[in-house]
Amino acid sequence: MADLMRQVTDHLEAAQSAEDGRSAELVARDGVLRQTIIALRSGTRLRTHNSPPAASLQVLAGKVRVEIGDELQGEFKTGELWVLTHERHSVLAVENSAFLLTTVTSTGEGSHA
């Protein structure tokens, strides 16, 4: 069983010293379900990327923004859960942040672009 809060602490520390300002680890895998902890140093952006068939983002520490192009989809802080868009999007750490990304990698629909 994963100790999420311990992993959040470890990954936030690792993101601080990482050249790209991030640290991530797959913490659960079950068939098409994936859960990944992602930590980002303040100001770090996950560049625009396709969305899997289904995904949610639960902020475990800090605050992040999900953006579609130049538009803000939402800004989420510790404790908030968000079902991600089916459009190409990016994620920006407004402050040092960690979140649990839950994805379903196959539903027969393919990824959304």
pLDDT score recorded for residue 107: 62
CB atoms within 10 A of CB 77: 13
Give backbone dihedrals phi and psi of 29, rounded to 5 degrees, phi first: -145, 125
pLDDT at 112: 47
pTM of this structure: 0.88
Return the CATH number of the domain spanning residue range 4-104: 2.60.120.10
Domain extent listing, the chain: 4-104
What residues contact residue 64 under an 8 Å CB cut-off, 6+ apart?
A: 40, 57, 75, 76, 91, 92, 93, 94, 97, 99
From first to last of its 113 residues, the chain has per-residue pLDDT tens of 678 899 999 999 999 999 999 999 999 999 999 999 999 999 999 998 888 889 999 999 999 999 988 887 889 999 999 998 778 889 999 999 999 999 998 766 554 44
Q: What is the pLDDT of residue 108?
A: 60
Edge-to-edge, what's the strand order for the sheet holding 22-30? 22-30, 33-40, 97-104, 54-61, 81-83
Contact 101, 89 (CB under 8 A): no
